[in-house]
Amino acid sequence: MKYTALLALAMFCVLSGNALSAAPASADQSYQETIKALPALQPITFKAAHETHQVLVFIDNQCVYCTNVVKNINTYTDAGLTMSFLTIAPGSIRDSVIADMARVWCATDKQKSLKNAMVGFLPDNDATPECENLIKAQSAFAIKNGVEVTPTMVVLDNPPQVFLGSLTAETILARLSAPSHK
What is the chain's pLDDT, residue by residue, as a tens digit (182 residues)?
A: 333 433 344 444 433 333 323 344 566 777 888 889 999 999 999 999 999 999 999 999 999 999 999 999 999 999 999 999 999 999 999 999 999 999 999 999 999 999 999 999 999 999 999 999 999 999 999 999 899 999 999 999 988 999 999 999 999 999 998 776 55
pLDDT value of position 26: 65
> Does domain 2-15+51-181 sit in CATH 3.40.30.10?
yes
Whole-angstrom Cα distance, residue 67 to residue 56? Answer: 15
Contact of 65 with 53, CB cutoff 8 Å: no
C-alpha to C-alpha distances, 66 to 53, 126, 151, nearest whole angstrom:
19, 23, 5
Phi-psi sector, 151: left (phi>0), alpha (psi -120 to 50), beta? beta
pLDDT value of position 29: 75
- Predicted structure pTM score: 0.84
